[in-house]
Chains A and B, each alone.
Chain A
Amino acid sequence: MRPSRAHPLWLAFVLHRVSGVALALFLPVHFWVLSYALTQPEKLDRFLSFADQPLVKIAEFGLVFLLAVHLAGGLRLMAMEWLPWSGPQKSLAAGAVGAALLLSGAFFLQVISV
C-alpha cells in the first residue's frame, strides 16, 4: 500500500528529479550540436533554421523552465541543508516554481517577439 503523495514537497522532489534527468539528457545533445560550429558550420545553420519553428520555440520554453526550476529548487534545498533555519519550505518550493515560470515566460516572450 502506498501513502498518498499529493503534497507540495513531494511534487517538488519529483519535479527536481524529472528536470535533472531531462537536463542530463539535453546537455550532451546541446554540446554535440554546438560542436557543428567548428566541424560542419552548414549543418549548424540548417539546425538553427529548423530551431526557428514555433514548436521548437515552445520546446525551448519547456527546456528553460526545467533549467530554471532545477536551479531554483536546488537553491532551496541547499538553503535548507546549509543555513541554520528551515523556513516555510512549501512556500519556498512554490516560489521556486514561480521564479522558474517567470524566467522561462520572459524568455518565451522574448523569442516569439523577435
Chain B
Amino acid sequence: MSAQAEKLDVSVWRGDSDGAYQTFQVPAYESQTILDVVSWIQQYADPTLTYRFACRVGMCGSCAMMVNGRPRWTCRTHIKTVVKDGAVQIGPLRNLPVIKDLAADMDPFFDKWVAAGGVHAPSGSRYDPIEPVDPAGPERTEASAGIECINCSVCYAACDTVAGNADYLGPAALQRAWTLYNDAKHDARESILDAVSGTGGCHNCHSMGSCTVYCPNELDPMSAIAGLKRETAKNFFRKRG
C-alpha cells in the first residue's frame, strides 16, 4: 500500500483551443496506465473532465493524447514510463481542433481518410465465386503491412507536414490508400492514385518519419507514402508515354 501514498502531479488541458493546463494530484498505483490516471481525475477530482476512450486494450484507437509533448495511446502506456520528477502533462491530440479538454475533433482526420480513397469498393458480390488471394504475394504483402491501423491519429498528431499544411491528407489516410491500392479485391484502385496526387497528396511528405517512429502498432506509414509516390510518378509517365 506504500505506493498509494505517492502522488503524481498531473497537468491536463482544460477548455477548448484557448484553454490552459490544470494540475491535479493523483495517487500513484502499480500497473497504472495514463488512461487510468485521466479516469481517476474524472471519477474522483473533477467529473466535468472530458476525454475519450472505449476498449482500453489498444484496439479501438479512441484514447490517443499528447503526453509530455508526444502522441501516445494512453490505454497501453504505463504512467511510469512517462512520469518525469513525479509530474506528467497530458493534452489533446495535436493538429486537430479541440472540442473540450482532452477530446479532439476527429472529423478532419476521417474526412481526409475518405478523401484519400479509403472507403472500400468491393470488386465482387456475395454471389460471385471467391477469388483466391495468395497471402505471400508481393501485392498482398504490401497491403497486409498496413491493415493493423487502428486510426488513433497518433501519426497525424506527430506529423510536422500536417502542422504546416492543413490540406495534407496525413500518414494514416495515405497508408490506408496504399493498402487499398494493393488490395486485389478493391474495385477503385486507379482512382486512388488521382485522390492521393492532388495538392494535399502524398508528394507533400518530407519523409521525416515521425509517423513511423510514433505509431503504437509499429506500422510504417512513411514507406507506404513512398510507395504511393512511386506509383503516382510511374502512372504520370505512363500517361505521357
Residues of B within 8 A of A10 (CB): 160, 208-210, 213
For the complex formed, measure the closest distance between the CB of B54 and the CB atoms of chain A, giving whole angstroms: 24
Q: A26-34, A74-82, A96-104: which one contacts chain B?
A: A74-82
Give chain A interface residues in 56-114, CB to chain B under 8 Å: 77, 80-82, 84, 86, 89
Residues of A within 8 A of B68 (CB): 4
Number of A-B residue pairs, CB cutoff 8 Å, is: 58
Check if A86 sits within 8 Å of B223, measured CB to CB: yes
Residues of B within 8 A of A86 (CB): 220, 222-223, 226
Known: A9-B213, A86-B226. A3 touches B208 (CB 8 A): no
> Does A2 lie at the interface of the complex (its beta carbon under 8 Å from any beta carbon of B)?
yes
Among A3, A81, A84, contact of B229 (Cβ-Cβ < 8 Å): A81
Instruction: Give Cα A5–Cα B161 distance, bound, in whole angstroms.
Output: 13
Check if B207 sits within 8 Å of A3, measured CB to CB: no
Check if B157 sits within 8 Å of A3, measured CB to CB: yes
For the complex formed, measure the closest distance between the CB of B51 and the CB atoms of chain A, giving whole angstroms: 16
Q: What interface size band does chain B fall in? A: 20 to 34
Q: What interface size band does chain A fall in? A: 10 to 19
Among A1, A9, A77, contact of B91 (Cβ-Cβ < 8 Å): A1
Among A5, A7, A81, contact of B230 (Cβ-Cβ < 8 Å): A81
Residues of B within 8 A of A50 (CB): none
Residues of B within 8 A of A80 (CB): 207, 223, 226
Instruction: Give Cα A9–Cα B160 distance, bound, in whole angstroms.
Output: 13
Check if A13 sits within 8 Å of B66, measured CB to CB: no
Residues of A within 8 A of B214 (CB): 3
Add 18 more A-B contacts to A3-B66, A3-B157 (CB < 8 A).
A3-B70, A3-B71, A3-B94, A3-B214, A4-B69, A5-B160, A7-B210, A9-B207, A10-B160, A10-B213, A77-B207, A81-B229, A82-B230, A84-B230, A86-B220, A86-B226, A89-B207, A89-B222
Per CB-CB distance, the 4 closest pairs between chain A and chain B, nearest first, are A9-B209, A86-B223, A3-B70, A13-B208
Q: Would you list 23 pairs from A and B whose C-beta atoms are within 8 A, ordered by A residue?
A: A1-B66, A2-B94, A3-B158, A4-B68, A5-B160, A5-B210, A7-B210, A9-B212, A10-B160, A10-B208, A10-B209, A10-B213, A13-B208, A80-B207, A80-B226, A81-B226, A81-B229, A81-B233, A82-B230, A84-B230, A86-B222, A89-B209, A89-B222
